Structure 1
């Protein structure tokens, strides 16, 4: 027996028949990106964190963009540029069709205001050296910027591709004050800052007007999804399970043990960045007793099995490192670096220690002049614990005692500013040899990030020459000298060059991974539903 229909229902049906048909609303599309940690603020001038960069690349733009080959610079907010013969004046011609998410028109005044704020001591900006030695930034007219340096900076364009050079809305900075990058960020990127719940989720919405994406994207804009939700999922297992169960749509934070598993799943795509420069190393503080002995440093390098580390903690996905930087990076010295100083040769390590007077004792460790061959290493948690335990075993085999002290991310950066350790762990991104060498080896950068306390007049001179070089050949020659010098001094133990993978779940098309400073999704213009 049929249930009688209520009169109200029949009336509504009759009304629907009489009214003209309407186009149904298009459902909003969204994708969830899973990552491990958050940042303290989304401010390009106050944070160097990868978690800051990966969002700012999406909500903001730089004047120029870096190709996935990590060698080629493309137009972005600047459509063209010229450089003076003396390398001190860059003139950028800007696009005239760009708007911020707020609707404000982008002009040269925004470029000037962004760099001026970065360099203002009141901002307490970070890594200002990546802006070069700025003399003055001038907005010549609405769409012309003159970027004048006190001395040439050969890598300025490469540095300008990084998130530190994101163009900001100075009006919003003035309005929000200390809450800029916390309560809002008005950028020109393909996505707009909608909301942020720290340590939980960041929500970005599509910038409808966006159409100026870099040349290497098939899609120049607008974005293909309406919303991106960045979720903090610290646990490896939960991210892996989440992307397989459609609880998350994309992640670059794939534990190495899960790469093969995800690649074998026909519903999931895993892509690898064509170029990616992120290297793991252990450094010696060479001003400390024992660590100041180059023969000890040579021996301990030879004691460490990089291939086993690449196969073990990295499950065969990383590349063993026998130099401080990747051989494919811009200005790598392919001629003079003695890579035989690095690599597993325990017998040679023992012979080196024997010749240096470090004799094996009854306790299984070496001693010299009444001192035990013991070094204290400060290390991060996570994968570093496995790496350091492997190194500890390797060093024990040649008679060296490695004491590992592990700290979490909230503590270790303060610890690494001290002089209380012999060795330290670090991994870092870079886009060129000069980028890496200028970070870790200028004497003025002691004690951090030059934690090895390297101080050498020639190094400082060559770094200065590389920065001021007016030709690629001159830049290479200067940085090659630095590379040879610091490699010959074996102040690091290079371990592995890390790869970059991006996984897209069942709802998404494959996403081309980008290797820029660890921000694998870059602008997010390649994120698209199937």
Structure 2
């Protein structure tokens, strides 16, 4: 299934600490924490929707089989233990016996099967969770507290997938009775998490209240038992100035996505602090569609890659708060290859020579290159204006200007969501920009293996490279770190060398918070968690 990129639009991140440092303080139960967010879910169903904000909000409501820490280690959660078959084609989980969903339904193996089957059901129309299940063939219930999850091929990344919100576990009762209502959020979204989804006011706020029965926190949490906070409110404040103003004026306790230009304002405010993390996964990059002329010529793709002044553009737009990326993976992603750093640079002269070699030697009245009387023009679909965040529109404008200097016209209109997704599905584009948050290098398979070309996957570069296919298939089939590091490093270098991608930047996930807020932390994907949070 092709991922709906509009709703899958995801942040990447950059350097800094991963938690707030108040370890010497004693937690104080009670109170309400209000968190300003810059986006709102188009659907709250974690099995259907793919937006990062959906996962960040719903992490408080839904538990997962396992937990992953920021060092990429896995810990027990709803599953107290697990074994992986030697052929990597099945995972057997031993489940906790004391977990109860907030509607009173006990958590058993039947709940696990019901959830995984819900994800792959066509009626769910899953945008992302179904991809996380890969070659899933079904779930065997061994007994009430033992479950075996099966795959048709080795699938080494499943444990990481099982730690995500997207494979979180709903109450089987709500799946049976309210599956068609889960997108709306609110009381039908029943999980076993530390908070209950109490209410949602569209475009304004989502309210969570403490689950007093909670005592099955993941093994890597700072405490066990109920959350400290009485309630957690997500205020939807898409305008950067409004969100930062609400933080500095004390209307909210924390704010997500502090824009680089506003960082000095928060730093200067009394009683406020900043925290940041490197978000793993795909960096924000431009993918070049090799199936669409003239990008079917590698010389043209390489010219585009070297014709964008990435370092200066990122510096100018983000004031040094975000750093340029050198490869398709963030440096905090497992199997990131550090050799990609400094491996390519802005070189407009070389880009011009490559275009000359490819036959684009003429010039029209506006100075754009031509070949056989046809202008060198590339189509780059733009997200609807409401989906543009973090000044990416400005970065894209300067990239267009760079390419114009070497004689390449780039049209970059803002499309409706429907038109945008249609372009993804039918390959009607030359350039495509996206990032993806996930601490798992198997993203390289999803975005570059030929089996995943839209409309059946996320390979928007339409790359057909037998070596990349072999390397990423090998990586997805083994948990051996040395093998994974080797094949994923080869993949990262190859997609740069063949001009499939122009990495732009690693985005810093920057959050501002009142100094009276403690215990909050970024999870393995760089999203804020509140189970251990409390207010002084």
Instruction: Summarize the alignment of residues 166-185 of structure 1 with structure 2, pairs less than 5 Å apart.
Output: 166-182=168-184, 183=186, 184-185=188-189
State the secondary structure of the residue aligned to 1:58.
coil
Q: Which residue does the alignment assign to 2:508?
A: 499
Q: Secondary structure at the match of 2:381?
A: strand
SS at match of 2:318: coil
Residue 48 of structure 2 corresponds to: 46
Instruction: Report what 2:115 is aligned to.
Output: 114
Q: CA deviation at 1:474?
A: 3.1
5 Å-filtered alignment, 1:314-353, equals 314-334=318-338, 340=343, 342-353=344-355
Equivalent residue of 2:436, what SS?
strand
Distance in 1, matches of 2:64 and 2:486, equals 29
Write out aligned runs for 1:404-483 (5 A). Answer: 404-407=412-415, 411-447=419-455, 449-469=458-478, 471-483=480-492
Tell me, yes or no, if the aligned pair for 2:65 and 2:79 is still in contact at 8 Å. Answer: yes
- Specify whether residues 333 and 528 from structure 1 end up closer, same or farther in structure 2 by C-alpha distance, changes over 3 A only: same
Q: RMSD between aligned alpha carbons? A: 2.5
For residues 402-427 of structure 1, what are the alpha-carbon distances to aligned partners after superposition, in whole Å with 9 as ceiling and x for unaligned?
A: 22212365653334334332212222
SS at match of 2:266: helix
Alignment of 1:187-198 (within 5 A): 187-198=191-202
CA contact (8 A) 1:442 1:463 kept: no
Q: Which residue of 2 aligns with 1:11?
A: none
Q: Which of 519, 526, 534 pairs up with 1:528?
A: 534
Q: Aligned partners of 2:310, 2:29: CA distance in 1, in Å?
A: 51
- Find the residue that maps to 1:379 and give its secondary structure: coil
CA deviation string 1:22-51 (max 9, x = no partner):
xxxx99621111112222332222111112
Q: Kindly report which structure 2 residues correspond to 1:230-249, keeping only aligned pairs within 5 A, or say none.
A: 230-249=234-253
Distance change in 2, residues 1:515/1:144 (3 Å): closer
Which range moved further: 109-118 or 427-436? 427-436
- State TM-score, norm by structure 2: 0.86
Q: Could you report, residue by residue, the CA deviation over 1:62-85 in whole angstroms, capped at 9, with x for unpaired residues? A: 11111123x211211112111122
Is residue 376 from structure 1 mapped to residue 376 from structure 2 by the alignment? no
Equivalent residue number for residue 296 of structure 1: 300
Q: Which residue of 2 aligns with 1:79?
A: 80
Query: What is the distance in 1 between the residues matched to 2:341 and 2:272?
Result: 42
| Cα gap change, 1:354 to 1:177, in 2 (>3 Å) | closer
Is the CA contact (8 Å cut-off) linking 2:68 and 2:524 kept in structure 1? Answer: no
Q: 1:466 to 1:394 in 2, by over 3 A?
A: same
State the alpha-carbon separation in 2 of the partners of residues 350 and 431 from structure 1: 37
SS at match of 1:500: strand
The Cα offsets for residues 163-211 of structure 1, whole Å up to 9 and x where unpaired, read as: 2210111111212241134251111111111112222221110111222
TM-score, length basis structure 1: 0.87
Answer whether contact 1:273 1:514 (CA < 8 A) is retained: no
| C-alpha separation in 1, matches of 2:29 and 2:345 | 56
CA contact (8 A) 1:271 1:510 kept: no
Shift of the alpha carbon at 1:139? 2.6
Structure with larger Rg: 1
Question: Which residue is equivalent to 2:25?
Answer: none
Distance 1:410 1:197 in 2: 25
Residue equivalent to 1:402: 410
The alpha-carbon distance between structure 1 residues 358 and 150, as it changes in their structure 2 partners (threshold 3 A), is closer
Aligned to 1:366: 369
* 3-state secondary structure, aligned to 2:55: helix
Select between 233-242 and 215-224 the one with higher mean Cα deviation.
215-224
Structure 2 vs 1, CA of residues 95 and 137 (structure 1 numbering), >3 Å: closer, same or farther? same
Q: For structure 2, which runs of at least 5 residues remain unmatched after alignment?
A: 1-27
1:61 equivalent in structure 2: 63
1:310-362 per-residue CA deviation (whole Å, 9 max, x = no partner) reads: 21222211121121112342123445x5853x322223222333343333636
Residues 241 and 410 from structure 1, CA distance in 2 versus in 1: closer, same or farther, beyond 3 angstroms?
farther
CA positional deviation for 1:395: 1.3
Distance 1:62 1:434, change over 3 A: same
Aligned to 2:102: 101
For 1:27 and 1:354, the matched residues in 2 are separated by 68
- What's the CA shift for 1:384? 2.6
After superposition, what is the alpha-carbon deviation per residue over 1:253-281, rounded to whole angstroms, capped at 9, x for unaligned?
21221123212323112111255445111
Q: Deviations over 1:206-264 (max 9, x none)?
A: 11122232344323342121111112111111100001112111122212211232123
1:220 to 221, 224, 248: 224
Is the CA contact 2:276–2:508 (under 8 Å) kept in the aligned structure 1? yes
- Please say if residues 274 and 515 of structure 1, whose CA atoms lie closer than 8 Å, have aligned partners that are also in contact: no
Counterpart of 2:273? 269
Corresponding residue for 2:12?
A: none
Residue pair 2:29, 2:228 contacting (<8 A) in 1 also:
no
Distance 1:175 1:45 in 2: 16
Check conservation: 2:445, 2:469, Cα contact below 8 A.
no
